[in-house]
Amino acid sequence: MFVEERAARSGRLVGADLVVGFAIIRCMLFKRVALAMILTVLTIEHAPAQAIPAKDDGFVVAALSLTPSAWDKESNFQKLASYARQAAARGAQVIVAPEGYLEGYVGNEHRTPGLTREKYAREAAEPLDGEMLRRVSALADELDVYLMLGFAEKRAGQVFNTAVMFAPDGSVALHYAKSHTMNDEPFNTKGDAFPVARTPFGTWGTLICFDRQVPEAARILAVKGADTLFVPAWGGYGEMNDQMMRVRAYENGVNVAFVHPKRALLIDASGTILARSQGDGDQIVMGRMRVDPKRKHSMLKYRRPALYRELTQDAVTAP
């Protein structure tokens, strides 16, 4: 009996010790979890702000291949709003209209023979902060999209062939004035800067129509970090232009969205056409663009800029 009673008492002591031990372990685990949660909160509150990386799944672009009416800004805006709403309903996150879309690209001497500076500035041009562009800004805000269009911009007593990209909150994300022409826009002042915009979807730049035919224009945007180029245009299009746009994409390692009233192309950084317009008539061309780290600026690392000083000379004597 004595041995059995002592064994039983010993068993009760061991059981009690186990209960106490488990309680201590639970307490320690609770303290560790609580400490980890506190450290996490402190880290979040005091961590430095980080740049938003480009989203891995890319972004959906809608190229609006639309033909506007000459001089009829109200009609052109209504068409833009209608097609932009359709594109947004289909999932577009970035929407782009052609060069000179708002006023119908009337500033070209071949399109509008006999045009005068006074008429152009008075009836075609709009200030960036004017009523018409505020309506475009509000449309971007309403649809929660990036929205770009071309227009004749009245600024500091001059007129520029401009492309503006409004952000989803209606603010200006990108503002560019065409820098190259065939001297066929007599009343447009040429731009002299190549801005880029950093967005959650990557870094963006823009060219307007003839800018694309000068290789240095696309290259400087790529060197400045642009991984997608938007190219609203009006002039030439066709097979030669399709190939040129593919080459611009490939040689710079950038996505290209070419948007013309009669042609639209979405091209990735390998030069592959992702989507293109079909037939004639107004239409929406949509595709998903991604910033592929293997393709992005893939050729730029092989450049030797020190050899290219002659490119900056005003004139190079041909052999």
Average pLDDT over residues 137-147: 98
Give CA separation, 124 vs 73, 97, 107, 156, in Å: 8, 17, 8, 16
Span 70-95, pLDDT tens digits: 999 999 999 999 999 999 999 999 99
What is the phi/psi pair of residue 65, to 5°?
Answer: -85, 85
> What is the spatial distance between Cα 308 and Cα 216, in angstroms, rounded to a whole number?
11
Average pLDDT over residues 212-221: 97
Average pLDDT over residues 6-15: 42
At 293, the pLDDT band (50, 70, 90 cuts) reads confident
| Dihedral over alpha carbons 212, 188, 141, 285 (to 10 degrees) | -40
- Give the chain's domains with CATH numbers: 59-301 (3.60.110.10)
pTM for the model stands at: 0.81
Burial of 111 (0-12, 13-18, 19+ CB in 10 A): middle
Token reading at 117: 């500076």
Neighbours of 190 (CB within 10 A): 13
Span 94-110, pLDDT tens digits: 999 999 999 999 999 99
